[in-house]
C-alpha cells in the first residue's frame, strides 16, 4: 500500500491533467467532425468517434500497464524491444500497399502502423546506449552506433515509403546534440587524413551540427532554385539565369568555410586555404547530389507538395495538386476570431469532403473553424505547456537514461505538433503526420500514450535513481 502511495505521490499531475485535457478536446473534435445522426452515440463503434473512444480506452489500458511495470524493465530489455519494432518494420514491407505505401499491418478488421511504435523502441535503446558511454571520451565507434540506432529504422521507414515518420526520426539527432554526443570523432578522423590540418576540438562540437544544417539548407535552396530564373528589374535586367544563383551560393559557402579556416584552423598549416576550399566544394557537392537523389526518389505527389511550398509550380493549383493546403487554410481562416461554434463546422466536416482527412492529418481545421483564433491560441498554449513541462521533467532527472528518453519524447511530440499545425496553415509541406493525442487513429494514439506513460513512470521513480 505504501509503495503505491509513494508511486502516485511522485506522479507529475500537472502533465497528466494536461494529457487528459488534450485527449478530451481531441475526441470532442473528432465527434463534431464526423457527427452522424444515425450513429450519434459515443459508444457506437461503427462511427469515427466510437472507434476513437475505443482506441483511447485501449491506450489508457496500455498506459496503465506500462506505468505499473518497474522502469528497469525498459532499460534491461531495450535491445529486444528495439529489435521487435525493427522486425515489424521489415514485415510490413511485404504487405499489400495501401494508398501507395506499405505502412500498415492488418489485424482482423483493424490495423497498426509499426513505424509509430518504432519511435518508442528507438527512444528506449538510444537512452540506454547513451547512458552507458562516457560523453567526455567519445569514440568514433560510439558515435556510429548512436547514428545506426536512429538510421536503421529510418531506412526501413523510407522504403515503405513514409516520408512523414522519416522526418520525425530526425528529432533524435537533436536529442544527441543536447546530451553532448557530437560528431567530433568522425570529423577529426576525416580531417586527420589531411597533413597539417588541426581543428580546435571544442569548436567542432559546438558549431559543426549547426553548420551542417546551414549547408543542407543552402544545398536544398540551390537544388530547387536551379529549376527557375529570377526577375529583378531594378538591376537593369529582367532574368537572372539559375546558374548564377548556384555560383553565387557556392561562393558564399566557400567564403564561409574560408573564414572558418582562417579563425579556427592551426595557423601553421600553409595549405589550409586550398584544403578548406576543396573540403567546401566537396561537402557542398556531396550534399547537393544526395538531396537531389532523395528528391528524385520521392513519389510524384510528394515532389509536387515540396515544389508548391517553395512556389516553384507556376500552374494554378487552387483545385489541383495544392488543393489540400488551400482548402485547409480556407477552413482555418473561416473560423475568424471566435469561430462558428461547436458542431457547426461546414468546410472541414467529414460529410462536406471539402478538406480531405479532416479527422486525422487535418484535425486542426475543424477545431479552428469551430473555435476560431481564440480557441486555437488556447490549444497551442496547452501544447506549449505540455512540451515545456516535459523539458522540465527531463532536466530534473538524475540519470542520463531518463533524461535522454524524456528529451526524445519531447522532441518527437514537438515535431508532430509543429509539422501538423504547419501543414494546416500552409507553412510546411503536407507529409501526413497526426496531431498528438488529438487526431483520429489507433496506432498514433496508442504509441503516443505508451511513450507518455513510460515517461511518467521514469519520472515517478527519479528519486530512487542514483545514477
DSSP 182: -
User: What does the pLDDT look like over 295-352, one tens digit per residue?
Assistant: 565 666 566 655 555 555 545 444 555 567 777 788 888 888 888 888 887 777 766 6
Report the C-alpha gap between 406 and 28 in whole angstroms.
Answer: 28
168, pLDDT greater than 70:
yes
**251/281 Cα distance (integer angstroms):** 10
DSSP letter at 184? H
Average pLDDT estimate for 130-156: 85
36 HSE (CA, 13 A, CB side): 14
Q: What is the dihedral of CA 367, 371, 372, 377, to 10 degrees?
A: -80
Taking Cα atoms as reference points, which of 426, 412, 411, 435 lies closest to residue 363?
Answer: 435
The cell for 247 is 555560383
CA 345 to chain centre: 29
At 101 the three-state DSSP class reads: strand
Which secondary-structure segment (H or E) carries 276? Answer: helix 272-297
CB distance 156 to 89 below 8 Å: yes
Low-confidence winner among 151-155, 176-180, 262-266 (lowest mean pLDDT): 262-266
pLDDT digits (tens, 9 = 90+) for 339-386: 888 888 777 776 667 777 777 888 888 888 888 889 999 999 999 999
358: phi then psi, degrees, rounded to nearest 5 = -70, -15
Mean pLDDT over each residue of the chain, to the nearest integer: 75
- For CA atoms 136, 139, 145, 148, the dihedral sign is positive
Q: Over 90: is that where the pLDDT of 82 sits?
A: yes
Whether 345 contacts 366, CB under 8 Å: yes
Distance from C-alpha of 428 to C-alpha of 305, rounded to nearest angstrom: 9
Q: What is the pTM of this model?
A: 0.76
CA distance 375 to 332: 11
Give the integer Cα–Cα distance in Å for 145 and 149: 6
Per the model's pLDDT, the better-predicted residue between 248 and 375 turns out to be 375
How far is Cα 67 from Cα 85, in angstroms, rounded to an integer? 20
Sign of torsion over alpha carbons 222, 224, 228, 231: negative
Selection from 449, 433, 438 nearest residue 66 by Cα: 449
Amino acid at each position: 500500500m505504501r509503495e503505491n502511495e509513494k508511486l502516485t505521490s511522485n506522479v507529475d499531475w500537472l502533465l497528466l491533467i494536461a494529457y487528459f485535457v488534450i485527449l478530451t478536446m481531441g475526441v470532442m473534435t473528432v465527434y463534431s467532425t464526423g457527427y452522424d445522426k444515425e450513429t450519434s452515440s459515443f459508444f457506437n463503434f461503427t462511427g469515427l468517434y466510437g472507434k476513437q473512444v475505443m482506441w483511447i480506452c485501449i491506450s489508457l489500458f496500455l498506459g496503465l500497464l506500462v506505468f505499473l511495470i518497474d522502469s528497469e524493465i525498459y532499460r534491461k530489455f531495450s535491445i529486444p524491444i528495439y529489435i521487435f519494432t525493427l522486425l515489424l518494420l521489415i514485415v510490413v514491407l511485404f504487405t499489400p500497399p495501401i494508398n501507395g505505401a506499405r505502412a500498415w499491418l492488418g489485424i482482423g478488421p483493424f490495423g497498426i502502423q509499426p513505424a509509430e511504435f518504432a519511435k518508442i523502441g528507438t527512444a528506449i535503446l538510444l537512452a540506454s546506449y547513451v547512458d552507458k558511454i562516457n560523453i567526455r571520451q567519445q569514440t568514433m565507434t560510439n558515435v556510429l552506433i548512436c547514428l545506426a540506432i536512429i538510421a536503421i529504422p529510418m531506412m526501413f521507414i523510407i522504403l515503405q515509403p513514409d516520408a512523414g515518420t522519416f522526418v520525425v526520426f530526425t528529432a533524435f539527432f537533436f536529442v544527441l546534440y543536447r546530451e553532448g554526443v557530437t560528431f567530433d570523432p568522425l570529423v577529426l578522423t576525416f580531417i586527420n587524413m589531411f597533413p597539417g590540418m588541426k581543428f580546435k576540438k571544442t569548436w567542432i562540437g559546438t558549431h559543426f551540427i549547426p553548420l551542417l544544417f546551414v549547408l543542407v539548407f543552402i544545398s536544398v535552396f540551390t537544388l530547387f532554385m536551379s529549376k527557375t530564373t529570377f526577375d529583378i528589374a531594378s538591376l537593369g535586367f529582367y532574368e537572372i539565369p539559375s546558374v548564377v544563383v548556384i555560383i553565387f551560393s557556392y561562393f558564399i559557402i566557400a567564403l564561409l568555410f574560408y573564414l572558418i579556416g582562417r579563425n579556427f584552423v592551426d595557423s601553421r598549416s600553409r595549405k589550409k586555404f586550398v584544403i578548406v576550399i576543396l573540403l567546401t566544394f566537396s561537402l557542398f557537392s556531396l550534399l547537393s547530389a544526395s538531396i537531389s537523389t532523395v528528391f528524385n526518389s520521392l513519389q510524384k505527389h510528394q515532389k509536387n507538395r515540396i515544389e508548391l511550398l517553395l512556389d516553384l509550380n507556376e500552374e494554378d493549383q487552387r483545385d489541383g495538386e495544392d488543393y489540400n493546403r488551400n482548402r485547409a487554410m480556407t477552413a482555418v481562416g473561416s473560423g475568424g476570431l471566435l469561430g462558428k461554434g461547436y458542431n457547426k463546422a461546414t468546410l472541414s466536416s467529414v460529410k462536406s469532403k471539402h478538406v480531405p482527412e479532416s479527422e486525422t492529418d487535418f484535425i486542426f481545421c475543424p477545431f479552428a473553424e469551430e473555435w476560431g483564433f481564440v480557441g486555437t491560441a488556447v490549444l497551442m498554449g496547452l501544447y506549449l505547456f505540455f512540451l515545456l513541462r516535459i523539458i522540465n521533467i527531463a532536466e530534473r532527472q538524475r540519470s542520463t537514461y531518463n533524461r535522454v528518453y524524456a528529451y526524445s519524447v519531447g522532441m518527437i511530440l514537438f515535431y508532430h505538433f509543429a509539422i501538423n499545425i504547419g501543414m494546416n496553415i500552409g507553412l510546411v509541406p503536407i507529409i501526413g503526420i497526426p496531431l498528438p493525442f488529438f487526431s483520429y487513429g489507433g496506432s498514433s494514439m496508442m504509441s503516443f500514450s505508451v511513450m507518455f506513460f513510460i515517461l511518467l513512470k521514469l519520472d515517478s521513480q527519479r528519486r530512487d535513481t542514483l545514477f
